[in-house]
């Protein structure tokens, strides 16, 4: 009996020693910090002021007036886990710059436009997301795509001027979609074949 007890004690001591001396898989990881900001040049080119009023007239004659709710330029800080080991809570820190502009109106067909510009990765891929009518429809694309004048092949009559822009759509064969110009903003919004709203200046 004494021999058995002694063997158990030795075994427990061995297991305890091994578990204490085992190196943690997390010890060697150092958290990294990544900061992705919008270029000052692109920020200065944003056509939306946030303090202005957008006016659109539809193909059937009704008017949508959307009033700027301000421009919000901010840094979003977040932590993203980089380890799949549940016992190893390794995180990296991210800082992403955003510029958000919102317009709101009372027209039931076109009552909200929300535009967000941001940078989310180290490749300089600055992005633009446009939401129409309270986030029901959103479009995400590269800021450079929105500003690529080689893609400005769609013409819209704005007053007495003809202005060209790029067509932005989730699916070019389906509504809704809109035409964007880097100086004017959203030139025209096609909600469906019977509801086409054109910027009025």
Question: What would the pLDDT profile of 95-128 be if each residue is shown by its tens digit?
Answer: 999 999 999 999 999 999 999 999 877 666 788 8
Instruction: Enter the DSSP assignment of 24.
Output: P
CA angle 41, 142, 71 (to 5 degrees): 55
Q: Torsion angle of alpha carbons 53, 119, 168, 191, nearest 10°?
A: -50
Task: In whole angstroms, give the CA distance from residue 78 to residue 34.
Answer: 10
- Beta strand 154-158 pairing with 112-119: unpaired
Give exposure, 120-136, as e/b (b: 16+ Cβ within 10 Å).
eeeeeebbbebbbbeee
Is pTM beyond 0.85? Reply is no
Per residue in 12-25, pLDDT (tens digit) is: 544 444 444 455 55
């Amino acid at each position: 009996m004494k021999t058995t007890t002694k063997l158990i004690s030795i075994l427990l001591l061995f297991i305890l020693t091994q578990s204490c001396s085992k190196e943690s898989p997390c010890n060697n990881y150092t958290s990294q910090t990544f900061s992705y900001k919008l270029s000052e040049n692109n920020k200065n080119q944003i056509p939306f002021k946030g303090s202005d009023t957008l006016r659109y007239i539809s193909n059937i004659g009704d008017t949508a007036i959307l009033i700027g709710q301000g421009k919000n330029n901010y840094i979003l800080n977040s932590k993203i886990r980089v380890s799949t080991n549940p016992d190893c809570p390794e995180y990296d820190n991210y800082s992403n710059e955003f510029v958000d502009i919102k317009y709101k109106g009372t027209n039931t067909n076109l009552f909200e436009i929300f535009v967000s510009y941001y940078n989310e990765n180290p490749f300089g891929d600055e992005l633009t997301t446009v939401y129409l009518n309270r986030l029901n429809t959103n479009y995400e694309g590269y800021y450079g795509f929105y500003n690529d004048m080689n893609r400005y092949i769609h013409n819209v009559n704005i007053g007495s001027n003809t202005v060209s822009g790029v067509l932005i759509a989730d699916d070019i064969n389906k509504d809704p979609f809109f035409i964007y110009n880097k100086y004017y903003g959203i030139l025209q919004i096609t909600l469906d074949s019977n509801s086409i709203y054109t910027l009025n200046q």
